[in-house]
Structure 1
């Protein structure tokens, strides 16, 4: 059973990295996790999920170097448009930069505006100007917006080991 799930996970990763628009079909793994979610990374459930507001409060108490294992829901602000290797989640007045454990999976590039559930490690980091510019370029920002980045900033970060995306009803 684990081998079958591994094969399905691998297939999902490979198909989500393609630049082609294809219609995704539910797999056996999705049905086992939750009938109404696409699952990426480690299998997680939608139990005991913190709200965006609760997670924002947790971030306020973190200092650089601190980490906390959590599972929370938030809305996707944007996704790496090159291959889906990161996404930003809305966190009140801020945002959380989500990367994926060991780059083991990627997100579909068209999920901005959707609510997702992420599970993994939350932390705070000081992001360099170079890294900020790199992510801005991957996110499709203009040359002017990229050039305007001139100082390191404190960022809310998250290393996800699993993500759930609600399935979109087909019409």
Structure 2
């Protein structure tokens, strides 16, 4: 009886270890080191990198823009690492999320870190609920969250890959 239980336990363990993992569970497979830093998500080359300061001019009069951008992180999600805000030249920030939640950045304070990311920039109207959700993820106070009362239009970026310098 004991041998049968042991064999059954080994069979179940073997089966469980061979199951496909979700993108979140497979996080380590989505990060790799290269000469520039740690790559999260899809690997990409750093050719034709546009500084964040030039992004607003590049997207002017367009719905969206495929680009590779270099920027400084201003703030990042402290709950899961599922977004970051980067600095633009006009003293505003741009929210960067990750394609299909297929990868996340480390949950650490990334403020001031240089990043290069590739994907699609576009203008979006952000609901009050979404703004409050991001404020909560960033660790804002209840008063700061309650002060968000109107939707706003802003430039957003969905990244396919990120190099954290």
Structure 1 length normalisation: TM-score?
Answer: 0.75
Q: Deviations over 1:37-68 (max 9, x none)?
A: 10010001222100122113224434xxx111
Partner of 1:73: 70
Specify the SS of the correspondent of 1:87.
Answer: strand
- Partner SS for 2:45: coil
Q: Is the 8 A contact 1:86 1:100 kept in 2?
A: yes
Question: For residues 10 and 47 of structure 1, what CA distance do their matches in structure 2 show?
Answer: 28
SS of equivalent to 2:100: helix
Instruction: Name stretches of at least 5 consecutive residues in structure 1 with no aligned partner.
Output: 1-8, 17-26, 167-171
Question: Larger radius of gyration, structure 1 or 2?
Answer: 2
Q: How does 1:149-164 map to 2 (within 5 A)?
A: 149-164=148-163
- Any stretches of 5+ residues in structure 2 without a counterpart? 1-22
Contact kept, 8 Å, 2:52 with 2:88, in 1: the verdict is yes
- The runs of at least 4 aligned residues of structure 1 exceeding 4 Å deviation read 9-12
Aligned pairs (5 A) from 1:19-168? 29-30=32-33, 34-62=34-62, 66-92=63-89, 93-109=91-107, 110-166=109-165
Question: Is the 1:59–1:124 Cα contact (8 Å) retained in structure 2?
Answer: no
| Closer/same/farther in 2, CA of residues 161 and 15 from structure 1, 3 Å limit | closer
CA displacement at 1:85 relative to structure 2: 0.5
Question: 1:111, CA displacement in angstroms?
Answer: 1.5
Q: Deviations over 1:96-149 (max 9, x none)?
A: 111100100001122211110010000000001111001000110011110110
